[in-house]
Every structure is written in structure tokens, then in C-alpha cells.
Amino acid sequence: MRAMDLLQKLDELDRQGVWVLDMPRMALLFPDESRETLRTSLARHCKTGLLQRFTKGVFVNPRALSIPEYYTLLHATPMLHPLEFSYLSLEAVLSDAGWISQIPMCETFMTTGRSGVFYTCYGRLEFTHTESQDSSGIYFNSAYGCWVATPERAYTDLKHVGRCLDLVEIPDEEDMTEMKAAHVGA
């Protein structure tokens, strides 16, 4: 794949709001390239800076105007488990809600896909498998570009997967009412 051909395709996708691509989508963009040639070309274009490796098999267009200004890591996360349901939960949500005073070292997700840790160009992501298909206590956060658990659901998930609860401080009833009112108003 020539650099000019790649840039043309990336610019077309950027105009459609697409700035992160996985290997299957890249293969669709360049159907005449064998899998091995495609990998070699993508590696070469990552070295020259036309592409940025997000994680294994997933690439970012660093020139894209459609890259979100904030929460870029969270916006790109659905590409890692595209066929599975995933949502931000556990320590990440509890820290944001003030139920844990520490800031987690990575963004933590529950997923119906495989568990795993991804080291990306934007930060670390941890996926924890769940069999649950229950979507109560989960909402779509457009600022994050992904599904997010409420603090109550994140706490339930934390207990369910057997993580340490020692750092969790559940607010009293009055504080919970204020937090819910602030959440609804946001």
C-alpha cells in the first residue's frame, strides 16, 4: 500500500468520524493486499508516523480531526471487543464517584468477552469477564463514548468478581441523594 493511497482512505474515513481501525477493516480498505503484505505495510506506516499503533491489530489515524479531544482512550475501547458488550466499571467508576480515594492505574471494564489487559498508546485498559447480560445500572456516556456503570453497579461488579473492597467508602444516604440529583442534572 502506498502512502498516498493510505492517506486518501484515512482522510475519507476521518470525514465520516472514523479515526481508529482494526485489521479486518484495514483489510477491507485494501482488498488487493495479502494479509502478510498488509501487516508489513501497516508496520512501515507506523514507523513513518502515518499511523499510530493503538494496540496489537488496532491503529489510530494521528492526523484525524475526528479524534475526541477528551477521553480518547475510552472512545477507542469498543474496538477491542467489537462483538461483545463492555462497560466501564469497577475501580475506574468508583474512583470517579469518590467511593475510592485512589486513582486507578488503568481504566477497568466489565465485558462479556475475554478478560485481558491491553497496553495502548493512550494508557492501559483492563477487561474482566462477566457472564451477566443484565444492563440495569448501566448507561451510555456520550462524553466517554462508551457504556458506564453507575457507582452502585460498579460496587456490585467489584464484589461479584472478588476484588478488594477495603478501599471502598460507600457514601451515607444523604450524600447518595445529593449525588443522584447532581447526576440527573448533568
Of the candidates 156, 182, 184, the one whose C-alpha atom is nearest the C-alpha of residue 170 is: 156
Task: Supply the pLDDT for residue 83.
Answer: 86
Q: What is the pLDDT of residues 90-131, one digit of tens each?
A: 999 988 988 888 888 899 999 999 999 999 999 999 999 998
Choose among 29, 21, 75: nearest CA to 51.
21
Distance CA 142, CA 147 (A): 8
| pLDDT value of position 163 | 78
138 or 181, greater pLDDT: 138
Task: Please state the pTM of the whole predicted model.
Answer: 0.81
